[in-house]
């Protein structure tokens, strides 16, 4: 009976310390095997364990070699620099048009750890991968989500009518009404949530319509029970506080351009002509294709339909945004907005109205 010798892990043994192999064992194993923790293993298994441990040691050495890079080597947009304040405290930005003092630093942002004037990457390879993934080489640090040009409001589509200007010109407008709401329920900051946003609630409901966690969240802000909660990503939340009511005349005025988003009218399953504005075929008796879709691809090569092919399917019923609509009138007495043109959805549909994004005016060019 063979008694295995307990030696240090992965210690190579010679033939003298091992029982001779049988012919079947010699075919299955290498001539020289190893014993680790009292268990005999083959040379192939030993090599796999050794490679795994080498990779672990390499990763450990890579973590220890933290590549410290100066902020000057990282392309950060000026607007992000003003918002995050990544330079040293008690200093002014070098750009002459900015006189905003530098405030406190955030401990981490998008995988970077910032000190007073330096930022440390976990590793040089991680830095290059992060720059490719976040697009620092051309756009600078990319923040999460879409930034709004300003805080907006939530409203309800009431219908459409004809509006006459003082000079007699007529235009079609959409009337947007407002239920009780548009109250700030929460402020999100970089330090607490990783991004800056204002959460707004809309449309009062009974208490039994909400769950206890939802009621607790609203009661914490001192707000009434509301059905809808939405966030507006901003660069700064100064001037807002929980429980504050957004006044319509303070947010918008006549002539402003706004972006209106909401769920469009669902039209059910539609064909290619109605859904994608395809042309129909000849309507003569000899035609075999009147409103059919037609060819959707080759037969043998590639022998499949490419993803994204425009085909019949469900039309409408999705979130839609219409940009740069003009506010014709802000009626403070009736608490309504008259917006030029059509907006998504049927009367009674929930709408999200925000200031229009105009590059160079309320959105920086960088």
The pLDDT value given to residue 294: 86
The token duo for 49 is: 């364990």
**Closest by Cα among 315, 323, 319, 325 to 264:** 319
Give 50-108 pLDDT, tens digit per residue. Answer: 888 888 888 888 887 754 433 333 444 444 544 444 444 434 444 444 444 333 333 33
* Helical ranges in 77-199 per DSSP H: 78-84, 124-134, 136-139, 190-193
The pLDDT value given to residue 241: 92
C-alpha dihedral (8, 13, 19, 22), degrees to nearest 10: 120
CATH number of 153-267+316-355: 2.40.30.10
Rounded distance between C-alpha atoms, residue 329 and residue 337, angstroms: 6
Instruction: Write out the residue limits of the CATH 2.40.30.10 domain(s) in the chain.
Output: 153-267+316-355
The token duo for 293 is: 């879709």
The pLDDT value given to residue 259: 94
The token duo for 279 is: 């042309």
Rounded distance between C-alpha atoms, residue 337 and residue 161, angstroms: 12
The token duo for 206 is: 């009974």
The pLDDT value given to residue 75: 44
If the chain, 366 residues long, is cut into consecutive pieces of 10 residues, what is the mean pLDDT of each piece? 43 48 51 53 78 88 61 43 44 42 37 36 41 37 62 94 94 94 92 91 93 93 93 90 92 93 95 93 89 88 92 94 94 93 94 90 75
The pLDDT value given to residue 167: 93
CA distances from 48 to 8, 44, 51, 353 (A): 17, 6, 5, 60
Q: Distance from first CA to last CA of the chain, Å, rounded?
A: 78
The token duo for 76 is: 């950060």
3-state SS, residue 124: helix
Rounded distance between C-alpha atoms, residue 259 and residue 357, angstroms: 8
The pLDDT value given to residue 146: 79
Rounded distance between C-alpha atoms, residue 271 and residue 257, angstroms: 34
**Closest by Cα among 224, 250, 248, 245 to 333:** 248
63 CB-side CA count, 13 A? 5
Rounded distance between C-alpha atoms, residue 41 and residue 32, angstroms: 10
The dihedral built from the CA positions of residue 146, 152, 153 and 155, taken in this order, carries a sign that is negative
């Amino acid at each position: 009976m063979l008694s295995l010798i307990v030696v240090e892990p992965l210690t190579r043994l010679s033939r003298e310390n091992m029982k001779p192999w049988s012919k079947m064992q010699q075919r299955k194993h290498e001539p020289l095997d190893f014993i680790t923790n009292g268990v005999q293993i083959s040379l192939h298994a030993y090599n796999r364990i050794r490679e795994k441990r080498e990779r672990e040691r390499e990763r450990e050495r890579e973590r220890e070699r933290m590549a410290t890079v100066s902020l000057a080597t990282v392309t950060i947009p000026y607007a992000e620099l003003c918002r995050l304040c990544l330079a040293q405290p008690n200093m002014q930005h070098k750009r002459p048009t900015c006189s905003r003092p530098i405030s406190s630093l955030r401990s981490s942002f998008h995988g970077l750890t910032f000190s007073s004037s330096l930022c440390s990457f976990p590793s040089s390879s991680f830095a290059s991968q992060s720059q490719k993934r976040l697009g620092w080489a051309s756009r600078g640090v990319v923040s999460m989500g879409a930034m709004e040009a300003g805080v907006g409001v939530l409203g309800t589509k009431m219908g459409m009518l004809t509006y006459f200007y003082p000079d007699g010109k007529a235009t079609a407008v959409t009337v947007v009404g407002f239920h009780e709401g548009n109250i700030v329920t929460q402020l999100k900051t970089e330090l607490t949530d990783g991004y800056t946003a204002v959460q707004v609630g809309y449309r009062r409901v009974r208490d039994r319509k909400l769950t206890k966690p939802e009621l607790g969240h609203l009661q914490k802000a001192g707000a009434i029970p509301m059905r809808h909660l939405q966030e507006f990503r901003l660069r700064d939340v100064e001037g807002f506080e929980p429980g504050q009511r957004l006044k319509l005349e303070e947010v918008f005025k006549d002539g402003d351009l706004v972006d209106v988003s909401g769920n469009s009218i669902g039209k059910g399953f539609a064909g290619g002509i109605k859904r994608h504005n395809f042309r129909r075929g000849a309507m003569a008796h000899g035609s075999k294709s009147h409103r059919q879709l037609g060819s959707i691809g080759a037969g043998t090569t590639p022998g499949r339909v490419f993803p994204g092919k425009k085909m019949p399917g469900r039309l409408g019923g999705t979130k839609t945004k219409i940009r740069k609509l003009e506010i014709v009138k802000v009626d403070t007495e009736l608490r309504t907005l008259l917006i030029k043109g059509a907006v998504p959805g049927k009367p009674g549909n929930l709408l999200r109205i925000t200031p229009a994004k105009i590059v160079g005016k309320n959105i920086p060019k960088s």
